[in-house]
A and B are shown apart, each in its own frame.
Chain A
Amino acid sequence: MAFPEDNSQPKLATGCRWGGTEEDRVVLFPEGAIKVTGTGRRILEACDGERTFQDIVNELQANYSASDPGKIRQDIANFLASLQEKRIVDY
């Protein structure tokens, strides 16, 4: 897996976009859709192509200050790398 760099600017990949309703948000891609909730949704909504990976990590670490910051960083990296492999996220 190719993990994002600190200055990578993740965004939804070509052909992927938001859909569904505000309560039921999904990311649509060519042959399917994934429902995203909770932290996954927060991360993906931050992937606007402007914020860097480091910005996103900082935001989430601030929001989940009780959790281990190193683990938060690693979880976000894993999450984005798995979506990058599926061609849902680009960075």
Chain B
Amino acid sequence: MSSQPLALIAEITHRCPLHCVYCSNPLQLTGVKLELATDEWARVFREAAQLGVLHLHLTGGEPLARPDLTELIQAAHTAGLYTNLITSSVGLAEDRLRALVDAGLDHIQVSFQDSHDTAANWIAGAKAHAHKVALAHAIRKHRLAFTVNLVVHRQNLDHLAEMIEFLAGLEPDRMEIAHAQYYGWALANRASLLPTRAQIESAVEIVAAAEKRFAGKIRIDSVIPDYYARYPKACMGGWGRKLMLIDPAGRALPCHAANVIPGLHFDNVRERSLQWLWQESAAFQRFRGEHWMPEPCRSCDRRLEDFGGCRCQAFLLTEDENATDPTCSKAPHRNLIDVALLTANEENDFAQPVAADSFRQLQEKTSALWSYRLNPE
């Protein structure tokens, strides 16, 4: 086991002005009343730095929904953490951006849903696209690392090359082409999001060409989605090995989706130190090492590379959190993935983006296609 986490993921709120259909947040969101206070987060950041954590990823929900975000970044920066803001940018005007940079923000990662206004707003369930574009131009005026993140799936992969072109025009340092991962809301909407094999194959070529074209200018990161890969992803770099996530209410989780696993208790930073949570808490120990592994993982040469894949995905698909991740080609439950892929590849039906006057109207118009992420109480 590694002696310390390398990065801390702080889900500082589950509130979000967007309703993205691919959101991987849990279906059971944490309400605002339970959120940690400013000084509680500041203490968490100090403890994280003392523990050897290098990076802090501020995420949510939408971190900008916290009015104290500037203070939180200041606290993280003072503690010595490299601070990354993962955001939709909705709620960020130029003066607030300047305040965040002055407080010590190192990196901002802005999500995009599409290159077309109507399509982007249709996927996000909010009229956010125009603001993102305007803000991207404001970001470039600062000395701040800028990543654009594009979540790709069945409904936008057919114009990936065009989307990459559009994003490159925003002059980011880095571009993430992230395939939707099927947790939370994305799993509920999987039938409408899962790409075809032809889409994946074409995406690989398009990304490779873009990497070559933008080499030295824009770093492009993209991985083959696990449903179409031979082996599962080393989720979170292995359970309790590299990353620690604190949810809005202060619970420490080894992974974003870990709360779907029944019987796991997550201790809280309100009662425990980060060091104790990392070293002693039952949740972090649960899938460390190899003792829990079933066959074929236990005797597999790749067990220390992918750690049996994702525990949360294993549970969500097989109802057994100890099972080999079904995305593995050797998994006894691989048929679950194959059936989903079969359905996804049977037809080439793609939806047409729709616009609406209100979120409610958009929900009504798209109810047969997907459910939008809702906000916590």
Contact = CB atoms under 8 A, between A and B. Distances in A.
A14 B145 contact: yes
B174 interface: yes
Interface string A7-22: 0000001111101100
A59 to B, nearest CB: 25
Contacts of B46: none
B13 interface: no
A2 to B, nearest CB: 6
A2 B214 CA distance: 13
Q: Interface extent on B, as a size class?
A: 20 to 34
Contact of B144 (A14, A19, A26, A87): A14
B173 A87 contact: yes
A29 B197 CA distance: 34
B54 A2 contact: no
Nearest to B57: A31
A41 B172 CA distance: 27
A15 B145 contact: yes
Interface of A: 1-2, 13-17, 19-20, 26, 28-33, 84-87
Given A28-B55, A30-B174, 15 more contacts: A14-B145, A15-B146, A16-B145, A17-B82, A19-B54, A19-B82, A28-B82, A28-B106, A30-B107, A30-B145, A30-B147, A30-B173, A33-B6, A85-B215, A87-B216
27 contacts: A1-B216, A2-B216, A13-B173, A14-B144, A14-B145, A14-B146, A15-B145, A17-B82, A19-B54, A19-B80, A20-B54, A28-B54, A28-B106, A30-B106, A30-B109, A30-B145, A30-B147, A30-B173, A31-B174, A31-B221, A32-B55, A33-B55, A33-B82, A85-B216, A86-B219, A87-B173, A87-B219
Interface of B: 6, 54-55, 80, 82, 84, 106-107, 109, 143-147, 173-174, 215-216, 218-219, 221
